[in-house]
């Protein structure tokens, strides 16, 4: 059985974040994820989760200026102290809200930095994250993000993610596998999933191109979801797309593949 979740940062954006929990429940979801929940207090989020009988399955650790076009924290030499603080904040939210996984965004290679020191910083920070998060029973994951949407991102494809896992050498660390980003990078989305499933801790999906809901692009979600259903994957699978129209009108895929 696939544990299906919906991303409240990209879907239901017609409403303020605090109102999106109710909208997720109205569409029949039991699980939600939030990229950066920190605009709301732990208490505000817990109230919504309890009220609508939802679980929060994933959050991102704070990523500094990454979402505003900056380089972020995790792979930037000199930002180690800020990254440590970001982990502490993520842990507080994850513990307070019983969140099983925290996603750590690698960030961009700064224009004035060489690649190797950035990768070394990233692997060291991932090791720290494994220790800090693991000490609370929280799984750290990291995702590959395509270089078109986010130029200079430090981990863009499956091979780079595999290399990072090799560098970190910690069993707690897993990939967050975003089907859209993999399609944008020219990866075979299903094959990549199949070959790396034991190293994947969280899955997200959107179609490609466009990053809209399934069946608006070229990814074969019928085949992909069918394989996932019979696989041994035990993590969450989350809709993280930009709705092509009003959010509530974009869930035909849910009835089609998960009814």
Positions marked catalytic: 143, 240
Written as six digits, the tokens of 124 are 């060291």
**Is 194 in contact with 182 (CB distance < 8 Å)?**
no
Cα–Cα distance between 139 and 130 in angstroms, integer?
Answer: 8
Residue that the structure tokens 């990078």 belong to: 185
Cα–Cα distance between 227 and 213 in angstroms, integer?
Answer: 19
Angle between helix 80-97 and helix 42-51 axes, rounded to 10 deg: 30
* Cβ contacts of 189 within 8 Å, gap of 6 or more: 179, 182, 183, 219, 224
What's the gap between Cα 5 and its chain centre?
11
Residue 140, SS3? Answer: strand
Closest alpha carbon to 143 in 58, 64, 233: 58
* Cβ contacts of 84 within 8 Å, gap of 6 or more: 128
């Amino acid at each position: 059985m696939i544990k299906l979740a919906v991303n409240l940062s990209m879907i239901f954006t017609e409403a303020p974040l605090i109102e999106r929990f109710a909208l997720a429940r109205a569409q029949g979801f039991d699980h939600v994820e939030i990229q950066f929940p920190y605009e709301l207090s732990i208490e505000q989020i817990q109230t919504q989760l309890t009220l609508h009988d939802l679980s929060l399955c994933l959050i991102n650790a704070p990523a500094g200026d990454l979402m505003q076009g900056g380089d972020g924290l995790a792979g930037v030499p000199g930002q180690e102290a800020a990254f440590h603080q970001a982990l502490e904040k993520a842990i507080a939210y994850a513990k307070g809200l019983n969140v099983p996984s925290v996603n750590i965004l690698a960030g961009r290679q700064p224009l004035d930095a060489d690649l190797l020191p950035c990768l070394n910083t990233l692997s060291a920070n991932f090791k720290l994250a494994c220790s800090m998060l693991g000490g609370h029973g929280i799984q750290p994951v990291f995702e590959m993000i395509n270089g078109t949407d986010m130029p200079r991102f430090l981990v863009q494809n499956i091979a780079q993610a595999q290399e990072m896992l090799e560098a970190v050498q910690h069993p707690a660390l897993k990939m967050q596998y975003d089907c859209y980003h993999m399609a944008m990078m020219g990866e075979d989305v299903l094959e990549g999933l199949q070959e790396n499933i034991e190293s994947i801790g969280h899955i997200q999906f959107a179609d490609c191109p466009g990053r809209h809901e399934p069946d608006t692009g070229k990814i074969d979600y019928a085949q992909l979801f069918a394989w996932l259903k019979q696989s041994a994957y035990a993590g969450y699978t989350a809709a993280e797309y930009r709705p092509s129209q009003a959010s509530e009108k974009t869930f035909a895929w849910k009835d089609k593949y998960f009814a």
